[in-house]
Structure formats: structure tokens, C-alpha cells
Amino acid sequence: MPGVLLITGASTGIGAATARHAVRDGWRVVLAARSEDRLESLVQEVGEPNALAARCDVTEFSDQERLVSQALERFGQIDAVFANAGFGAKRGFLEETPEFWREMVLTNVLGVAYTIRATLPHIRERGTGHYVLTSSVAGRRALPGSFYSSTKWAVTGMGESLRQEMRAAEAPVRVTVVEPGMVDTPFFDNRPSDALEPDDIARVVMFVLGQPEHVDVTEILVRPTSQAS
């Protein structure tokens, strides 16, 4: 039975698409992002009884703790966590600014770790749950000059580390790393052609969450048909 799904990076792209699919499938959703206006619009779209908008900067652990508290106060439980917040950078180690790199690492890596840390006490106490982490094709192979790729390698490794921790603790908590190829999201300044749509990844997330409890889908790599590598 669907339950409560917490989504970071929920205001646009993959996060927003997943929220729409989840509510259609019977989930209640906790939507976290820095953009309150977009979150509120999404709540109105999917139906206010089914959704909670919570402003959250994933790089601030106190924000993430408050997010969990708001979710539990509203819905009483969290059944699944989609750690999806992240952004990219131009390739080239002489591109972007060091400050931009710092924000990307804080969001893409530390933000995911903070989401896990803030939610894990509740998930462990309940004795069940499911984490889905957004990595990337770039988290499976190094891309020339891509510091973004390095952050996604970290997310891929984090997912496996969390999965192994749950197995060592004999906790029936599942962990899935989703690794999209090129997706037409606000990630890109210029809209790509022949890319996946956010809905494509949302359907993958819902497929994973819909598996029986004894099925742990560890990793899903999904590319556009036209993407060679």
C-alpha cells in the first residue's frame, strides 16, 4: 500500500514529476525545495490534502530536521525518501567558479547525506522504509572535465554504503540508486533534443517503490535510446 513519500528537489523537473505520479498512485507527498512559490503551486495542482510543501535548503541540516518534523506532524510517518536535490556544472576544471563548485558539492553530496541522516532515525524506528537516490550516468563513468560527475560518483557510493549498513543491521530498509542519462530538466540552459523527460524518470521511481518488500532494486541506469554512452 502506498504511504508517505518525502521528495527533495521537488519544485521542478524529476522531483515535481515524481510528486504528480506518486499522488496519482495513492501516495501522500512531502515536497521540499528552496522555491516556496513553486512548491505551493505544485501542492495546489496535486491536491492539498495529499501534499505538504516545506521550504528546505538541503545543505542546512537544521532545515532537513525541520522538514522531517513537519512531515511527521502532518502525516505521522515517512515510508519512502527520494533524495533528488542536485544541480550540474559546465565541464572543464577551468569552468565555473570555486564558489559554484562548493555549492554543488554541498547540494549534490552533503545534501543527500543530510537527507539520509535526518530521516534514518524515524525509518529505523519504524523498521521499514525505502530510500531512492538520484545519481546519474555520470555517477557510473567518469566524464571528461566533469566535477559534477565526481559528485554523482559519491552519490552512487553513498547508496551502496547505506544499503550495506541496512543489511548489516538486518533492517528491512531498501535502497535504490537511479542513474538517469540526459534528461530535459532545468539542469540545462539550452534544451537538449532526444532527451528523456522528467516523467520517464518519475515512472522509474514509482516502479521501484511499487515492488514487494522482499525485492530490493539496488540500481537502475536509464538512458535515452539515442544516447550512446
Quickly list DSSP for 100-128. Answer: HHHHHHIIIIIHHHHHHHHHHHHHHHHT-
> What residue type is assigned to position 143 of the chain?
L
Q: How many CB atoms lie within 10 A of CB 214?
A: 7
118, 68 in Cβ contact below 8 A? Answer: yes
Count Cα atoms within 13 angstroms, Cβ side, for 173. 30
Q: Which helix (H) or strand (E) holds 32?
A: strand 28-33
> What residue type is assigned to position 20 of the chain?
R
Q: How many CB atoms lie within 10 A of CB 57?
A: 18
Q: Which of 173, 164, 78 is nearest to 127 (CA)?
A: 173
Residues 6+ apart with CB under 8 A from 62: none
- Helices (H) and strands (E) counted in the chain, each on its own, are 7, 7
User: Residues 75, 82, 148, 187: which is the catalytic one?
Assistant: 148
Annotation marks residue 148 as catalytic? yes
CA–CA separation, 170 and 155 (whole Å): 22
Q: How many CB atoms lie within 10 A of CB 9?
A: 27
What positions carry a catalytic annotation? Answer: 148
